[in-house]
Structure 1
């Protein structure tokens, strides 16, 4: 294998290519904006960055679209970084070349893999065809329009069984996304239904969870109990059916097995939050099996380099450092982006690389309209409206957008609270 000196001691004009404009990819690019020794390209299949943690606030109109879905060309304006709109078709790690579906090809000096994950439907019949995802702004508006339509239809039907189905929303998966979705809809749908003359008590939110508890791998026991209590206190009813394994999804109904019995639930809306899979392009890379985990994610060194291809870095949902595994969250990904940029600069300058360090402030979870729970430094919990204010300001602080104007006015608020709680 070539030594780092042999790989990086070069003045060739090949660029740094960043694949994926999520938190890891975008923040890698932004932290490289002062590097002028070689060109930098950021490639993504969408025009817009999507701040996924705040998609619930987009659904509820608590934040505006332009705040959480800014265009990449605006974010990178005057940065010297080239944005390329395109879908990655293949990566040739040996030839150091990226191919796009458009036919364009990009050779690279350094490559950053930040393609994120895709939805896994776990081979459940009908799941992909008959459920709704919640990953993009389009998903948000499509779900909102669908739900409003179901509520309208419910006010015009005389059939009680049909009305019950129209007012039933089933969420598959009780991880953080499923719990946040359930709590949000349980407060939001009544505000839409009451003006139509409907009874909010008729709305039914059902979570189907295969495992025996909610938020199994996402949070602490204390925050889990807070979430369980919050789900019981929403405006509309939320039912959590644990030990429920979905077997099939049909138009307007779900089949699942619980306690050894096959059950059928009529629901006009089914939201899928149950599983993620690695990106197909990542799956196709010629990486040895011992350098992947059981989920097929790429194993990286503490410096976030691929062991077999040290000129390639990987972060976010598609990679994991087995010596220091981190949750797949925004606060982890943006710090990894900064670490990758630092190490690329070090390589170009002939300096030593440093392991990526991630400092987790804690866990933030939305639990209804204007309500959240925040566990800071895994020791202190703040919930309700104050928790919501901290969650929103903390997320906005990450945004490389006009949100920073808001943060400049409110950032002192969250910082002082954090310092007082931490005793620093």
Structure 2
């Protein structure tokens, strides 16, 4: 393994390779397009960019599919960026090579933006019987599953079976779990009522291991807003605190609470409990002291790997121990743009700069056409206006062939001024 050294500038013709087309990877590519004339390769295992914060709107049909999951060939049309569809098999940091199935790409600079994977925490049968919610495929799989259970519920005469069919268990009380619960509590009744069902029979249960929901992902004020919103949904939402899931079986969830083992009969289990390090990132040959307790690579304030200064990492696949950031879209977007500028600096023979992330707003989906937005930890907007601001914020971020990425801002000054002034 090489010791830290100056970036080798002898291979000027080699491309900048970006692994992962999420917020960090895609926006690093788009900013590099404007800053660098050399070859840029973006590699992702799917054809489409996934706008993860709006997957709830895709499930509920509040926003069209083409806005949530646009194809990379459309987003990168005439950009000069080469898109490669493929799954990364391995990264050889010493040889500066990325290996796909049957393909090898050498790089001048490498950007790691592969994100994370679902962490089932070693819970027996969780992976087999719980549904995740990370991709467009997951959205359609969950929607089909839920509609099927609602239809079966209208045809069964067994009261206990119907109760289980109409119960959704959500494992995890973080932002994803709360947003999922609020969305389903409004959405499922709109699907069930036309089938002749009683929406009051639908039950949404959040199983939270900790003593409160949104412990690390929201302020006290936003947490109170979310708790209030969960109580006012069309279908019932229950929050079971101190509930540590022990196993997921077909038809029920086993958990421990107050020292007692309990079972919740639920035909649907949605897993939002945590993230795991991507297997390719996990396999990187870097020193153990350059990883955190979750095995994520540690990066310098410039977002470079300490041992390999030509390699940058962003989003939730790495962490700066001196300035840890939440795994959100606005963080990944800003980090991707900052990496592009640091690579430009290195190419010009200058030193890269420390990356600063500005957390301007916390955006949370709290039911159909309802959101809460907290801006600069000072202003809170909720309800339908909150949803308008949330959608406008995210959709303004979405790149299109017609929009120059340099004009794209995370939160428009016009919106901020109106809220601050009002």
Q: Which TM-score applies when normalising by structure 2?
A: 0.95
Aligned to 1:309: 308
- For 1:84, the equivalent position in structure 2 comes to 84
Per-residue deviation, residues 21-66 of structure 1 (Å, max 9, x unmatched): 0100000000011355431100000010000000000011000011
User: What is the distance in 1 between the residues matched to 2:401 and 2:62?
Assistant: 16
- What SS class does the counterpart of residue 42 from structure 2 fall into? strand
Residue 57 of structure 1 corresponds to 57
Structure 1 CA distance, aligned partners of 2:362 and 2:331? 11
1:175 maps onto 2:164 in alignment: no
Q: 395, 418, 421: which is aligned to 2:416?
A: 418
- Correspondence 1:357-372 to 2 at 5 A: 357-372=356-371
Q: Aligned with 2:154: secondary structure?
A: helix
Cα offsets for 1:250-289 (capped at 9, x unmatched): 1011111111111111111000000110101111111112
Q: Give the distance between the partners of 2:188 and 2:102, measured in 1 at CA.
A: 45
TM-score by length of 1: 0.95
Matched, 1:19 2:19: yes
- In 2, the alpha carbon distance for the partners of 1:210 and 1:278 equals 21
How much does 1:417 deviate?
A: 3.5
The equivalent of 1:41 in structure 2 is 41
**What is the Cα deviation at residue 368 of structure 1?**
0.2
Asked if 2 retains the 8 angstrom alpha-carbon contact of 1:50 and 1:68, the reply is yes
Match of 2:257 in 1: 258
TM superposition shift of 1:423: 5.9
d(CA) in 1 for partners of 2:60 and 2:244? 30
Residues 287-331 of structure 1: CA deviation (Å, up to 9, x unaligned): 112211111111111111011100000000111111111111000
Matched residue pairs, number?
A: 417
Aligned counterparts, 1:4-403, within 5 A: 4=6, 7-10=7-10, 12-100=12-100, 102-401=101-400
Determine if contact 1:393/1:414 at 8 Å carries over to the other structure: no
Aligned to 2:91, the other structure's residue is in SS state strand
The CA deviation at 1:196 is: 1.0
1:97 Cα deviation from its structure 2 partner: 0.6
Alpha-carbon distance in structure 2 between the residues aligned to 1:98 and 1:159: 56
Is contact 2:251-2:268 (8 Å) kept? Answer: yes
Residues of 1 paired with 2:35 and 2:413: CA distance? 30
Residue 142 of structure 1 and its aligned partner are, at CA, apart by: 1.1
SS of residue paired to 1:235? coil
**C-alpha contact (below 8 Å) 2:168/2:205 kept by paired residues:** yes
Alpha-carbon spacing, 1:11–1:290, altered in 2? closer, same or farther (3 Å): closer
Residue 95 of structure 2: SS of its match in structure 1? Answer: coil
CA contact 2:233–2:367 (8 Å) conserved in 1: yes
Unaligned 5+ runs, structure 2? none
- Unmatched runs of 5 consecutive residues or more in structure 1: none
CA separation of 1:312 and 1:402: change in aligned 2, threshold 3 A? closer
8 Å CA contact 2:4–2:306 kept in 1: the answer is no
Which SS does the other structure have where 1:298 is aligned? coil
Q: Secondary structure of 1:383's match?
A: strand
Instruction: Determine the C-alpha separation between the residues in 2 that align with 1:293 and 1:11.
Output: 32
Which whole-Å CA distance do the structure 1 matches of 2:9 and 2:391 have between them?
44
Q: Is the 8 A contact 1:394 1:414 kept in 2?
A: yes
* Distance in structure 1 (CA, Å) of the matches to 2:401 and 2:185: 31
- For residues 50-92 of structure 1, the C-alpha deviation after alignment (integer angstroms, 9 at most, x for no partner) is 0000000001100001111011111111111110000011101
Q: Is the 8 A contact 2:222 2:374 kept in 1?
A: yes
Between the aligned partners of 1:154 and 1:353, the Cα distance in structure 2 is 59
Q: Is the 8 A contact 2:22 2:50 kept in 1?
A: yes
**Conserved in 1, the CA contact under 8 Å of 2:29 and 2:340?**
yes
Q: Is the 8 A contact 2:15 2:40 kept in 1?
A: yes
Q: Distance in 1 between matches of 2:291 and 2:390?
A: 33
Give the direction of change, closer, same or farther, for the CA distance of 1:415–1:244 in structure 2 (3 Å limit): same
